[in-house]
Amino acid sequence: MSLVKLAPSILSADFSQLGEQVEAALTAGAQYVHIDVMDGHFVPNITIGPLVVRSLRPLADKYGATLDVHLMIENADHYVDNFAQAGAHILTVHVEACPHLSRTVQIIREAGARPGVTLNPATPLVTLEEILPEVDLVLVMSVNPGFGGQTYLASSTNKIRRLRGMLDAIGSSADLEVDGGITAKNAAEVAAAGANVLVAGSAVFGGPRSIAENVVSLRKAIDATECI
């Protein structure tokens, strides 16, 4: 099994066929389901809540997949229990939105979910140094969050590489996830830099090809990197 996991982002899915489309991605080999929660305050968009997480948990259980919930919201502490009880396996919060980040991470773990932490493209890696030993996932945003379909920021590759070095230096087994503009054309570059979870939205749920064909294309690009 591949060491790098693929996490389709439902932000780009057709919500009138959400269950069918997510199942198509999981059947084709995706291991995570990435769920973007936006509040219209921290980012300029409003998306979904715990009910959608709850509706997808049976599918995740059926395929042994991980529900990867990315909280792009203010006051995340107030909503952790709701998302954990709805079935989130991972809850990721932003360093920019959590003034008491260590406490937030503790709340997530006590709620029964795996804590993750993320930062926006312009936020330096130094803001993660103190929290890295406490988390199970670190997410690098390779676009400015809020909307799907954006282009990957080329400067992200070096940031991923440096973060991989930071994780290795402390012996962390945390996932290094990247979200934003991932396609079959740059997946190999991102994986080679040290990411082991790749979030893809439009590259999975968009375009003329089927979801299964899109997943296979991404999977081939990732696997080619791992064979080098």
Active-site choice (39, 68, 175, 179): 179
Active-site choice (14, 36, 68, 81): 36
Based on the residue annotation, tell me whether 179 is a catalytic residue of this protein.
yes
What CA–CA distance (Å, rounded) separates 193 from 156? 10
Based on the residue annotation, tell me whether 39 is a catalytic residue of this protein.
no
Q: Comparing C-alpha atoms, which of 44, 34, 110, 52 is closest to residue 73?
A: 44
What Cα–Cα distance (Å) separates residue 9 from each residue in 24, 50, 139? 13, 16, 14
Q: Comparing C-alpha atoms, which of 99, 158, 162, 154 is closest to residue 131?
A: 99
Q: Which long-range contacts (C-beta less than 8 Å, at least 24 apart) are formed by 58-62?
A: 59/19, 59/22, 59/23, 59/26, 59/33, 60/26, 60/33, 60/87, 60/89, 62/26
Which residues carry out catalysis? Answer: 36, 179
